[in-house]
Amino acid sequence: MSEDSSSSEETNYSPTTSISQDTFTTETTTITAFNVPPETFPSSSSTHLAIQSLSSILTTLPPPLLSSQDQDPAFSLLHDPDISSQVSSLLRLPDSGAGDNSLCRWFYDTFQSSEPQLQLVVLRFLPIIAGLYLSRVALKKPLAGFEAVLLALYAHETTSRAGHAMTVNVPDLSYSSIYHETKEPAKDNKAAELNLAVISPSLEPHGTVRSTKRARIVGVALELYYSKISLMPVGSKIDFFEFFKVWSGQDDDASKECETQDDQEGVGKESVTKEGRIPLPWEILQPVLRILGHCLLGPKKDKELIGAACAACRSLYSRSLHDINPQAILGTRSLLRLGEKTLDPKNINADHTEIPMNNVIAL
């Protein structure tokens, strides 16, 4: 399959056409620090340089940031609503993804810095970058600026994983555990072997975004966002949910509660397909479901966030029924049921990891 026209513009945007070995080396030195919460880092000269550069792009910045009076300027960049509003407006302009876009250049240079806090600022706006990028690909618009940022995130993860796949050990239920007993005894006394399930395959370096690799590159960027989702402000997650609904291309009734009765399974056939629908391969859908799951079941019970997550999940569930995608149907339907329990007032303060205690012995 040939590359899209958006890739042809990459020759005018040097960071997109190639990611040098020096870039990989620099990222390797920041992996350990990147996992530490931003509050533990002091401000540095690179943070102030980034703020000065951003001031030439945005209309206004809070005076404490420009005067170096803010003791944690990167934290302010991450959470300031006025800055977020201005950046969001600039990103949503029709030509925002072009290779000569100054804001995309700022995102790229900022993520390549050695400041973990600044990298979090870039990730904060990934929902809009990825959302607009995937929505505009079919329109054949120049998107080399967005692709440069996505490739920077992908290169960071490629270096961080060091060629290893992300796996999880799935317990073998044929052997008894502290949580259950098997009805039939094990055939042998050997310990259960590890059953490794691959969550994300190993990564290969890519210097350009080809149409055949687009879903994988964007999906890895979403996985990186998910790994830092606890540090992201609520507004960033809600931005994601808005694009999830657009990507699904299915009409959603916001007045419905987060519930899935059996007689509602026909919603996919009754939904109206809307503009903005994109292909949703598993490389993209899996991190999307993980992001939704965190927001529905995470420790912070924000009513607006949970409501937006439920609406996005309903749209994706409708899309999965429309496509007859068993994996997607199972994932979205399970999240809808869990979301329904989360919204139940009886479960607001419930700890689902606790084993219920009662005086009745079940035989």
Coil/strand/helix, residue 250: strand
Count of CA atoms in the C-beta half-sphere (13 A) of 266: 2
The 10s digit of each residue's pLDDT in 139-182 is 888 899 999 999 999 999 999 988 888 888 887 777 777 777 77
Output the pLDDT for position 355: 61
Rounded CA gap, 59 and 299, in Å?
36
Angle CA 256–321–225, to nearest 5? 75
Residue with more model confidence, 18 or 329: 329
Instruction: Say which range, 159-163, 227-231, 273-277, has the weakest mean pLDDT.
Output: 273-277
Instruction: Say which range, 21-25, 133-137, 186-190, has the weakest mean pLDDT.
Output: 21-25
With a cut of 50, say whether residue 1 has pLDDT above it.
Answer: no
With a cut of 50, say whether residue 35 has pLDDT above it.
Answer: no
List 167's β-bridge partners, or say none.
198
Q: What is the domain partition of the chain in residue ranges? A: 5-167+198-227, 233-347
The 10s digit of each residue's pLDDT in 256-267 is 556 554 434 444
Rounded CA gap, 264 and 56, in Å?
52
What average pLDDT does the segment 2-22 reach?
40
With a cut of 60, say whether residue 357 has pLDDT above it.
Answer: yes
What average pLDDT does the segment 30-46 reach?
44
The 10s digit of each residue's pLDDT in 280-326 is 999 999 999 999 999 998 877 788 999 899 999 999 999 999 999 99
- CB count in 10 Å sphere of residue 207: 14
Residue type at position 144: A
With a cut of 90, say whether residue 339 has pLDDT above it.
Answer: no
The 10s digit of each residue's pLDDT in 97-138 is 998 999 999 999 999 987 899 999 999 999 999 999 999 998
How confident is residue 206, by pLDDT bands cut at 50, 70 and 90? confident
Output the pLDDT for position 187: 61
Which of 128, 120, 108, 129 lies closest to 75, judged by CA? 120
Q: Is 288 in contact with 222 (CB distance < 8 Å)?
A: yes
Q: Is 316 in contact with 248 (CB distance < 8 Å)?
A: yes
Count of CA atoms in the C-beta half-sphere (13 A) of 289: 22
What average pLDDT does the segment 22-35 reach?
33
Output the pLDDT for position 192: 52
With a cut of 60, say whether residue 52 has pLDDT above it.
Answer: yes
Coil/strand/helix, residue 316: helix
Contacts of 300 (CB under 8 A, 6+ apart): none
Angle between helices 102-111 and 116-124 (to 10 degrees): 140
